[in-house]
Amino acid sequence: MPIKSLDELKKIRDNQIKKVKLRESGDSEDQTIEILVGMATCGIAAGSREVLNEFVNIISAESIDHIKVVQVGCMGYCHSEPTVQVNMPGKQPIIYGNVDRATVKDIVEKYIKQGIIIDDHVLIKTFNSAL
């Protein structure tokens, strides 16, 4: 698809910058939700790069600005890669395993937006005494 104007090029650039910021540190100063995607070798081999990109694409497309997507190393659940930990304020962190693109959509739509835990993919509900 050819770019037809300078304004169109600037819009593409701005969208890409938003995606990079979302991956690095989140979109805004007031971060309330963290999504940690395991990006160790085992995770990448199992598809975690696609999972991370899907989170970024969905969050960007829906203009959700209170979520931070973070690449992390090994979470220790190599048998269930790709793994994703979701940290929501006031709730225990939840680690999801065997996450694919469809599961990413469910995590955003069901868990993040509605608070419904996706039991099929839960590896562990962690305890954090600071919550």
Out of 29-33, 76-80, 95-99, 121-125, which region has the weakest mean confidence (pLDDT)? 29-33
The mean pLDDT of 10-17, rounded to a whole number, is: 82
For residue range 60-90, list pLDDT tens digits in order: 998 887 899 999 999 999 999 999 999 988 8
For residue range 23-62, list pLDDT tens digits in order: 555 444 444 799 999 999 999 999 999 999 999 999 999 8
**Which of 23, 33, 42 is CA-nearest to residue 98?**
42
Residue 126 has pLDDT above 60, yes or no: no
Q: Are 83 and 51 contacting, i.e. CB atoms less than 8 angstroms apart?
A: no
Domains, the chain, in order of start with CATH, read 9-125 (3.40.30.10)
pLDDT at 6: 86
| Pairwise CA distance, residues 119 & 117, whole Å | 6
